[in-house]
Amino acid sequence: MQRYFLNEPYEAKAEFTVTGENFHHIAHVMRMSPGQKIYLVFDEQIAILAEILRVSADEVVVVERKKEVAEKELPIQVTIACGYPKGDKLDWIVQKGTELGAQEFIGFPAKTSVVKWDHKKINKKKQRLEKIAVEAAEQSHRQLAPKILLLESKQALIECFTMYDYVIVAYEESAKAGERSRFATLLAQMVSGQRVLLIFGPEGGLAKEEIQVFQEHQAELCGLGPRILRTETAPLYALSAISYQFELV
The one-letter amino acid at 30: M
pTM for this model (two decimals): 0.91
| Domains of the chain in sequence order | 3-67 (2.40.240.20), 77-248 (3.40.1280.10)
Per the CB < 8 A criterion, the answer to whether 199 and 170 are in contact is yes
DSSP code, position 232: T
What mean pLDDT do residues 121-129 have? 94
Q: How far apart are CA 41 and CA 59, in angstroms?
A: 17
Question: Which pLDDT tens digit goes with each residue over 12-34?
Answer: 999 999 999 999 999 999 999 99
H helices present in the chain, as ranges: 20-24, 89-99, 119-139, 154-158, 172-176, 182-189, 208-216, 234-243
Q: Residue 107: helix, strand or coil by DSSP?
A: strand
| Angle, vertex CA 157, rays to CA 151 and CA 162, nearest 5 | 140
pLDDT classification of 176: cutoffs 50, 70, 90: low
Question: Which pLDDT tens digit goes with each residue over 132-154?
Answer: 999 999 999 999 999 999 999 99
Per the CB < 8 A criterion, the answer to whether 36 and 51 are in contact is yes
